[in-house]
């Protein structure tokens, strides 16, 4: 079985990585370390800087992941500044900004960066969906962000990610893509 080190403090990202990579028979070795996140709205650049930091900490091939949340009606806000938006206005503030807006299209964009000490490889994916009208659902162990309570994925537009059952989340993982899935497909063959 192949292994990969994933440096992050986000338990939801670790849980999701274990599921996607486990499906490809790749073991995730979590390394709990707070990486410094650069101030840019370019998720590839953030992932690049994080994986370089991570490599300096663990001194072995590793991955880092960054994502952004993009709301069409708000000109892409909050983009890669998700944590700042959540810390300042929160999910309710985002819903308030969307009051009266018909276009509720939004997406999560992800970038996994892999670094082996010589070369960085990038893997991307975009999850398209719509913004819910209200905060819904329960916290989940694989939840990356409170945005799961207001985001409805193309997998099932009637429920937020937080409202999906474990079985539905497993089915969603099998039929939708992910930057982690893209990485797993590449890594198991290299």
**The tokens of 82 are what?**
């998700």
- Output the pTM of the full model: 0.90
Among 145, 149, 151, which residue's Cα sits nearest to residue 105? 151
**The tokens of 174 are what?**
């099998």
Which CATH number describes the domain made up of 2-187?
3.90.950.10
Q: What is the pLDDT of residue 95?
A: 98
| Crossing angle (nearest 10°) for helices 11-23 and 179-187 | 50
Catalytic (active site) residue 66: yes
Catalytic residue among 23, 66, 87, 96: 66
Non-local CB neighbours of 48 within 8 Å, separated by 6+ positions: 113, 120, 122
Pairing status of strand 62-71 against strand 2-7: parallel
Q: What is the pLDDT of residue 61?
A: 97
Write the pLDDT tens digit of every residue in 20-51.
999 899 999 999 999 998 989 999 999 999 99
Q: What is the pLDDT of residue 79?
A: 96
Hey, how many other C-beta atoms are within 10 angstroms of the C-beta on 134?
A: 10
Helix segments in 11-80, DSSP class H: 11-23, 43-58
Non-local CB neighbours of 65 within 8 Å, separated by 6+ positions: 6, 8, 13, 17, 47, 50, 110, 111, 112, 113, 179, 180
Q: What is the pLDDT of residue 156?
A: 87
Q: What is the pLDDT along the chain (190 residues), one digit of tens a residue?
A: 899 999 999 888 898 899 899 989 999 999 999 999 898 999 999 999 999 999 999 999 999 999 999 999 999 999 999 989 999 999 999 999 999 999 999 999 999 999 999 999 999 999 999 999 999 998 877 777 899 999 998 888 899 999 998 899 888 888 888 999 999 999 998 8
Please, which residues bridge with residue 26 across strands?
A: 2
CA distance 135 to 133: 7
What letter would DSSP give residue 161?
Answer: G
């Amino acid at each position: 079985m192949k292994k990969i080190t994933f440096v992050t403090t986000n338990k939801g990202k670790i849980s999701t990585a274990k599921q996607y990579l486990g499906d490809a028979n790749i073991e995730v070795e979590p390394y709990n370390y707070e990486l410094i996140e650069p101030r840019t709205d370019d998720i590839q650049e953030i992932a690049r800087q994080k994986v370089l930091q991570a490599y300096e900490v663990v001194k072995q091939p590793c991955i880092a992941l960054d994502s952004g949340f993009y709301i069409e009606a708000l000109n892409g806000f909050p983009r890669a500044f998700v944590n700042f938006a959540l810390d300042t206005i929160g999910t309710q503030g985002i819903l308030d900004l969307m009051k009266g807006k018909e276009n509720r299209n939004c997406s999560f964009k992800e970038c996994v960066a892999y670094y082996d000490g010589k070369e960085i490889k990038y893997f991307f994916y975009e999850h398209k969906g719509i913004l819910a009208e209200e905060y819904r659902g329960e916290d989940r162990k694989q939840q990356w962000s409170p945005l799961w309570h207001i985001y409805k994925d193309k997998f099932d537009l009637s429920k937020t990610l937080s409202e999906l059952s474990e079985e539905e989340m497993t089915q969603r993982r099998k039929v939708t893509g992910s930057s982690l899935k893209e990485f797993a497909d590449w890594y198991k063959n290299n």
